[in-house]
Amino acid sequence: MTVNNMTSPAFDLKAITRPNIYSLEPYRCARDDYKTGILLDANENAYGPSIKIEETVFAKGSILSKELLAGLNRYPDPHQEDVKQLLCNLRNATFKEDTSVAQLTPENLYVGVGSDECIDTIIRCFCAPAREKMLTCPPTYGMYGVSANVNDVEVVKVNLDFETPGFPIKTKAVCEALSNDPSIHVVYICSPGNPTASLVDPEAVKTILELPTWNGIVVVDEAYIDFAAPGSSLAPWVTKYDNLIVMQTVSKSFGMAGIRLGLSFASPEVARILNAVKAPYNISSVTSELALLALSPASIANMNTKLAAIIEQRKRLLIELPKIPGVGNFIGGNDSNFLLVQVLDKPGGEPSNPVAKELYESLAQAKGVVIRFRGSEPGCVGALRITVGTKDENDVLLEKIAETLAAIYA
């Protein structure tokens, strides 16, 4: 059957689409390429959610409470005060001995549909389209650039220091860029970095925050902060720096990526602005109830048990991966639930993108093990990003990497 095209001859999609949107390349997430197998590519928590499902949820006879189900005809809480208070309690407990910072309260919080909504909201609040800019430090999380493009905001890039282990920020270069361009209104710093897995030096952040020749917002993205040493979070700093936003999420350490809950700690005035522009009911009742379960004392204890297991397996990979012929240096840090490691053109050779990409594709297509190729990122030649899995998953990972590299080099 022939279907006639009834579109008006005057219709020109390109002409009516914002140019920055028409030319936009969407962010490629880990699930775009491979969806099955041992999935060690998306930095998810391989040990599962912090909620003890068998005890906390199914014991009620339903995945969700009867009260929640009965109330789904009503809009959710637009302010999420209960969730915010528990999030504040969690971070306040870490800094209870530090008298230099005040206690966080719900007034210090904006919650969004994942960190991606937080990123977008910050740009919309503080960067005028086609006029003002933001700054990033590659290699870094790709959604900063995607959100900037959607909002028609130019991105100024100051690469991390590739010559120094751990990819530190080039603090002087960042400060010079900010001082020389007042149109830069936002700086995004990922700590621990993705894909670098390195914590940013707090002194570098402090220097940028206190820069006397620049007026703007510093955003520290701490999605992976719970995998770093206790006390590493800068969230309490928002009580003394009005120009700081600290983003976190329940996706990683809590193993709750599926509920899509991101958060931004900020001064009450900045948080007020962020909350003013959000959709009225952006956090669903289902997300809210599951977040409350995840933030209960029992679930936090469960999370800490799983964190310890991930950190133990991270230590194992740091020891075992370099024993495999053809595996090179770890070029990032070890502050996250993933590692960034180089693959060589031959044992004892040089980092190689072609070999790293062949290993990545062969593992996924023939061995059922999915990791992520990061060799196209600045300073990451031959690099693969490997999420820390369970002991059994890592057993398979190590075996299949050794087996596949041996075949590639043969």
Q: Residue 332: name the closest of 225, 207, 200 by CA.
A: 200
Q: What is the pLDDT of residue 59?
A: 43
- The pLDDT assigned to 189 comes to 97
- Give me the pLDDT at residue 285, please: 87
CA angle 209, 138, 370 (to 5 degrees): 130
Are both 264 and 311 inside the same structural domain? no
CB 159 within 8 A of CB 379: yes
Q: What is the pLDDT of residue 32?
A: 59
Residue 325 is part of a domain; what is its CATH number? Answer: 3.90.1150.10
Residues 359 and 282 in one domain: no
Claim to verify: residue 329 and residue 304 sit in the same structural domain: yes
Does residue 225 contact residue 233 with C-beta atoms inside 8 Å?
Answer: yes
395 is in which domain, residue-wise? 30-49+300-409
Q: Same domain, yes or no, for 161 and 45? A: no
Q: Is the pLDDT of residue 55 over 60?
A: no
Least confident of 123-137, 318-332, 390-404: 123-137
Name the residue with tokens 């809210």. Answer: 288
In a domain, 18, yes or no: no
Q: CB atoms < 10 A from the CB of 353, how many?
A: 18
pLDDT digits (tens, 9 = 90+) for 213-239: 999 999 999 999 999 999 899 999 999
Q: How many CB atoms lie within 10 A of CB 77?
A: 13
Count of structural domains within the chain: 2
Q: According to the model, what pLDDT value does residue 202 have? A: 95
Do 330 and 243 share a structural domain? Answer: no
pTM score, whole prediction? 0.86
Q: Give the CATH number, domain containing residue 240.
A: 3.40.640.10
| Residue at 54 is within a domain | no
Classify burial at 368, counting beta carbons within 10 Å of its beta carbon; exposed 0-12, middle 13-18, buried 19 or more. middle
- Average pLDDT (368-395) is 95
Give, in degrees to the nearest 5, the angle at Cα 388 between 386 and 389.
115
Write down which residue in 296, 330, 346 finishes a domain. 296
DSSP state of 29: -
**Whether 113 and 261 share a structural domain:** yes
Domain annotation covers residue 57 = no
